[in-house]
Amino acid sequence: MTSGTSTRLAGILARAARGTFPPPDGSVTFLPQPSERDAGVIAFTAHTVVFTDADHAELAALLPPDDLGAPLCPPFLSELTARTGREVVNVDLLTVADPLPGPPPLDLRETKDRGHPRILRALRHRDEVRAWTVPGGTLVIGRGVAGRWETALEVDPAARGKGLGRALAAAARHLVPGGAPLWAQVAPGNAASVRALLSAGFAPVGAEALMVRPHGAARTPG
Question: CA 149, CA 151: separation in Å to the nearest integer?
Answer: 7
pLDDT at res. 171: 98
Question: CA 17, CA 55: separation in Å to the nearest integer?
Answer: 29
pLDDT at res. 58: 97
Which of 12, 14, 108 lies closest to 51 in space, CA to CA?
12
88 strand-pairing partners: 211
Read off the amino acid at residue 85: G
Positions of E strands within the chain: 27-31, 39-44, 47-51, 87-97, 109-111, 127-134, 137-143, 149-155, 182-186, 203-212
Question: CA 106, CA 137: separation in Å to the nearest integer?
Answer: 11
Contacts of 36 (CB under 8 A, 6+ apart): 1, 219, 220, 222
pLDDT at res. 6: 59
27 strand-pairing partners: 47
Per-residue pLDDT of the chain (222 residues; tens, 9 = 90+): 334 445 899 999 999 999 999 999 999 999 999 999 999 999 999 999 999 999 999 999 999 988 999 999 999 999 999 999 999 989 999 999 999 999 999 999 999 888 878 788 888 889 999 999 999 999 999 999 999 999 999 999 999 999 999 999 999 999 999 999 999 999 999 999 999 999 999 999 999 999 998 865 544 333
pLDDT at res. 185: 97
